[in-house]
Structure 1
């Protein structure tokens, strides 16, 4: 495993008197599991905040109790049920226009209200669309639901009507092994994001604790060990007060 590219990228930022701001988003939490325990223990060990994209339909008291023991965790809205309404010929999507916009937005409002009530101050008013996909026509309706942030995958687009806090490096090999991607490729990809002239204010790492294999866990453990103690790195949580509205750049 070669992490030299990442270390060099961080050291370059340090030499310039700047900092790398990173954030960790983990998707599909519903209830406590051994995998979630492992994620929470690992992030706690390195004092790294983690934002859990929680599916509201089936979550409840057990996860509340587990997260009460993990003060470094926060909760975001992950759709309503993580149900795919797209056809077999389309990419999976819950928040598309396969149903009417009022129906989709009403479900999101129900999910928002449920998570806000269950998780209180731990809840961030941020939508994480299942599969990182949402129909553009739905975006203007999100603020009226109480949502202040949107998080999908990839470079933030300048036309978004709602502030974006995206993830940029997905550690999973969804179209190959189904497990963790090769560490060398992940370190190189993260180094590339750090070195970009148009690097986002916060570079997001995307994980899915329920499907992590040994490679995924090893990469994440190494990444946290490298970055959590580096003076030029800062792990942060999404904050509506400090997020950047990309359309105003």
Structure 2
């Protein structure tokens, strides 16, 4: 992919950390590497203007996103709105908090018996298979990125082949594909995190080389103008010969699209 980047780098929004990210891409190209980027977007349930905006942005930069869809709330008209290159992952069951007062929010935590939680997840997986037969991959995204170990242990038995959280889950018998970058300041402004910090994280991830995919986590329903602008800048800068955007099933060989045999 070839796209002029000088206008972005020389804009008033430019920063040393953004230029450090671009330099890391240039160094990767000099080494003959192709850095893999991937995008996970959470909480999809229905067609919407923000989802359409995300898909248009992805289409313009060759990005195949994986949408974490909430099974209990997914509408049948979502599937026809998705291009063929979009993947769908399972985002829990109903994205309902079962934690008690003072506990961090979680749907798949230890508050309920693991067999009950796994039964809901199996029901959700079956529903997604029916709604998205051409988009679904057997990837579970726990709501709030939290899941009890005993629930994790039962995932292969219901047909889940891989897990994607965000920092809170680091060990599992299943293949684990966690994004490293979340641009939203959830515990503060709920707008864009400090941009220099985000660009610095991207630069560090790019400097690690092509072995580790670089994942970005988004929530299309929660984006404001600053978050949309950051995401577009990331995609513009990664229109670079050292970069390629991939889907989770390109990263994890056993993660296949479609229904099980």
1:213-232 correspondence runs (5 A): 213-227=224-238, 229-232=239-242
User: Under a length normalisation based on structure 1, what TM-score does the superposition of the two structures give?
Assistant: 0.91
Q: Does 1:188 align with 2:200?
A: yes
* Change over 3 Å in CA distance of 1:154–1:12 after alignment to 2: farther
Alignment RMSD (CA, Å): 1.9
Q: Does 1:12 align with 2:27?
A: yes
Q: How many residues of Structure 1 are paired with residues of Structure 2 in the alignment?
A: 240
Structure 2: how far apart are the matches of 1:242 and 1:104?
Answer: 25
List gaps (5 residues or longer) in structure 1.
245-249
List gaps (5 residues or longer) in structure 2.
1-12, 255-261
* Change over 3 Å in CA distance of 1:226–1:240 after alignment to 2: closer
Q: Does the 8 A contact of 1:156 with 1:165 survive in 2? A: no
Poorly superposed stretches of 4+, deviation over 4 Å? none
Report the counterpart of residue 160 of structure 1 in structure 2.
172
* Change over 3 Å in CA distance of 1:200–1:26 after alignment to 2: farther
Structure 2: how far apart are the matches of 1:148 and 1:201?
Answer: 19
1:1-249 correspondence runs (5 A): 1=13, 2=15, 3-67=18-82, 70-154=83-167, 157=170, 159-196=171-208, 201-227=212-238, 229-239=239-249, 242-243=252-253
Structure 1: how far apart are the matches of 2:88 and 2:60?
Answer: 19
User: Under a length normalisation based on structure 2, what TM-score does the superposition of the two structures give?
Assistant: 0.87
Q: Does the 8 A contact of 1:23 with 1:203 survive in 2? A: yes
1:60: Cα distance to partner?
A: 2.2
* Change over 3 Å in CA distance of 1:181–1:19 after alignment to 2: same
1:18: Cα distance to partner?
A: 1.3
Q: Does the 8 A contact of 1:82 with 1:94 survive in 2? A: yes
Q: Does the 8 A contact of 1:164 with 1:243 survive in 2? A: no
Structure 2: how far apart are the matches of 1:202 and 1:155?
Answer: 18
